[in-house]
Amino acid sequence: MKEVATHCPYCALQCGMMLRERPSGIEVGPRDFPTNRGGLCQKGWTAAELLDHPERLATPLIGGREATWDEAYSLIVEKILDIQRRNSKDGIAVFGGGGLTNEKVYSLGKFARVALGTRYIDYNGRFCMSSAAAASTRAFGLDRGMPFPLADLAHADTLMLIGANVVETMPPFARYLTEQRRGGGTQIVVDPRATATARNATLHLQPTPGTDLALALGLLHIAVAEGLVDRSYVDGRTTGWEAVKAGVAGYWPARVERITGIPVSDLEFTARALKRGKAIILTARGAEQHSKGVDTVSAFINLALALGLPGTPGCGFGTLTGQGNGQGGREHGQKADQLPGYRRIDDPAARAHMAKVWGIEADEIPGPGVSAYEMLDLLGTHIKALLVFGSNPVVSAPNARHIERKLRSLDFLVVCDFVLSETAALADVVLPVAQWAEEDGTMTNLEGRVIRRRALRKPPPGIGTDLAVLAELGARLSQGNTGVRFDSAPHIVFEELRRATAGGVADYAGVTWERVDAEDGVFWPCPSADRAGTPRLFETSFPTPDGRARMIPVEHRPVAEEVDAEFPLYLTTGRVLSQYQSGAQTRRILPDEVFVEMHPDLASRLGFAEGTPVRVISRRGEILAPARLSAAIRPDTVFAPFHYPGVNTLTSPALDPTSRMPEFKVCAVRLEQA
């Protein structure tokens, strides 16, 4: 029997697991890793079922017919060169994913900039973490979702979760919440729905969708009024306090109650609880996937800084990552504005550094592109061909019907996947690639811990790997440029990644696969092999020019699409326990169906019962879904899980002005009898 210690292929908790090859098939077993301590959710337990799934692709497809790899590569290169000749190098775009390994993310960014010479590359993580990343970077000078280990949560006196339903989305995470409550801690959960996480909390705050920003401003107003601000921390470790203090003066409790619907007494309880002992504030997609997501996270960071939390032992502020490599996926160069090591692509020093690593001139590196939704919106006009790796935008992009039309308008679409996802079904060429248990690599979990994914077996015959695809296409497209090299071996790519990130914000120079194996992962930054990683950040200073965190004044503003007489209800989207992201993997293992959750009072007003087929209609699209009645949701709001085709035809493409994050979490809809 062969077995390896590895990690779950799905979410950012990256639970440790054992994989065993038995005569009866591949079996998942528990593994005592520091984050999940043996626990797995149903997605993890069933992850191996996809490895030998009958719907798995076995050969490349050209126009739907089976083809050889050489035919597929030749056609891709011919089309790329032709489109580049007839348009420009920016006529080709690349779309990546937050589930790809660090090695793949790095190679994808290099492939786009060096082999294709295009500025158009972005990825589906823009839909998840970009608002948290932008707010953390502008405040702290660095974006690592959790700047402290998960284990710290269990010891907090007060824990505040805003827009996070970890009990359902990451069940093994819940043990930290349970431990914290059992230790006498106070837990406050902010969510428009009484989720399993909210129901377990000491206090559930149930705001009107799109009003978390006002909530944060109101809490800081109370902290100022009641003398809860840590003046010595604010004076010694931050800048910008006076403007922020002046900015919250207008958010008195009664006004915030009117905006958010949260009673004044609950606002006061929350502000006071955050000042008692050790406190930690965590935001997630519920607060971030808005057209004001960056300002919302900034408002909670301001609150945390005013209370003296970031960098204080046992306290802190963090943002929860969702996708498997949501953290590493945003560090190594698949974002439109970024080079590896979390460097900016418009920084001359960063360009010079990367040009040296890549063996090209700095002025050969293209400039910044545009964000994921904006890039998809250019398909068929500026962009004629798209290469997709590890993503399924037909299901996961907002305003999805429009995006599907855009994909259909391309001259040429290539998708690398292991099943025929909804996006792959539209492709001119589909390349079948290995799954997580068939290749080595590294991921960076939600704590910033670099971990090792280990292969249990080789890919089946005829199946490639993402790295091999990039290496082969890179070699064919870079002919004549002998200084440029694309490797398909993940450990060699990781060595190049170490050199590339050296000196950057996300510095992996001291991380080796051997260290990761020996130390249960290594926390970045880790600038040299003789230095330990950094589990806790900001203990003595922030990585800003003056070493202080920056407090940024922000203002509440309405959602991009308010309810009105025609579309009188808020729609909010989110996840369910059984599914991961666009569901391309999990829907094939744990088939279940879309539903629309609504309050019984709303259902009775509209004449719906449990299971009634309902049309959910927005300005962009509509879906048919059975009604699911639950008193856990506000009567003015309905909920639908986004894992299923169609749900994102409803959602709004309104973008945050800074992060370019779409407003997935709220749009206006109406319900009709089917």
Interface contacts to ligand SF4, rule CB under 6 A: 8, 10-11, 13-15, 36, 40-41, 43-44, 170-172
Residue closer to ligand SF4 by CB (options 365, 450) is: 450
Report d(CA 283, CA 159) in Å as an integer.
11
CA distances from 178 to 134, 187, 197, 322, 447 (A): 31, 10, 10, 21, 19
- The distance of closest approach from Cβ of residue 13 to ligand SF4 in the complex, given in angstroms and rounded to an integer, is 4
Q: What is the dihedral of CA 168, 169, 174, 176, to 10 degrees?
A: -160
- The distance of closest approach from Cβ of residue 589 to ligand SF4 in the complex, given in angstroms and rounded to an integer, is 12
- The distance of closest approach from Cβ of residue 35 to ligand SF4 in the complex, given in angstroms and rounded to an integer, is 8
Residue closer to ligand SF4 by CB (options 325, 478) is: 325
Residue closer to ligand SF4 by CB (options 40, 433) is: 40
Q: Which residue has the tokens 């935008």?
A: 393
CA distances from 253 to 185, 243, 247, 262 (A): 25, 19, 14, 9
Report d(CA 89, CA 117) in Å as an integer.
6
Report d(CA 15, CA 38) in Å as an integer.
8
* 405 CB-near residues (< 8 Å, 6+ apart): none
Residue closer to ligand SF4 by CB (options 40, 164) is: 40
Report d(CA 358, CA 353) in Å as an integer.
9
Residue closer to ligand SF4 by CB (options 41, 400) is: 41
Q: Is 141 helix (H, G, I), strand (E, B) or coil?
A: coil
CA distances from 48 to 196, 310, 391, 417 (A): 27, 39, 20, 16
- The distance of closest approach from Cβ of residue 437 to ligand SF4 in the complex, given in angstroms and rounded to an integer, is 13
DSSP 55: T
- The distance of closest approach from Cβ of residue 41 to ligand SF4 in the complex, given in angstroms and rounded to an integer, is 3
What residue is closest to ligand SF4 based on CB? 44
Report d(CA 617, CA 431) in Å as an integer.
36
331-341 burial string, b = 16+ CB within 10 Å, else e?
bbbbbbbbbbb
Report d(CA 187, CA 202) in Å as an integer.
5
Residue closer to ligand SF4 by CB (options 42, 265) is: 42
Report d(CA 393, CA 390) in Å as an integer.
10
Residue closer to ligand SF4 by CB (options 175, 255) is: 175
- The distance of closest approach from Cβ of residue 173 to ligand SF4 in the complex, given in angstroms and rounded to an integer, is 7
User: What is the token pair recorded at 490?
Assistant: 């993940």
* 236 CB-near residues (< 8 Å, 6+ apart): none
Residue closer to ligand SF4 by CB (options 411, 447) is: 447
- The distance of closest approach from Cβ of residue 494 to ligand SF4 in the complex, given in angstroms and rounded to an integer, is 21
How many secondary structure helices (H) and strands (E) does the chain include?
23, 28
* DSSP string for 271-290: HHHTTSSSEEEEE-HHHHSS
- The distance of closest approach from Cβ of residue 472 to ligand SF4 in the complex, given in angstroms and rounded to an integer, is 31
Residue closer to ligand SF4 by CB (options 39, 464) is: 39
- The distance of closest approach from Cβ of residue 527 to ligand SF4 in the complex, given in angstroms and rounded to an integer, is 28
- The distance of closest approach from Cβ of residue 321 to ligand SF4 in the complex, given in angstroms and rounded to an integer, is 11
Residue closer to ligand SF4 by CB (options 45, 69) is: 45
- The distance of closest approach from Cβ of residue 274 to ligand SF4 in the complex, given in angstroms and rounded to an integer, is 27
Yes or no: say if 18 and 4 are a contact pair by the CB < 8 Å rule.
yes
- The distance of closest approach from Cβ of residue 232 to ligand SF4 in the complex, given in angstroms and rounded to an integer, is 39
Q: Which residue has the tokens 């006498």?
A: 184
Residue closer to ligand SF4 by CB (options 36, 572) is: 36
Residue closer to ligand SF4 by CB (options 7, 670) is: 7
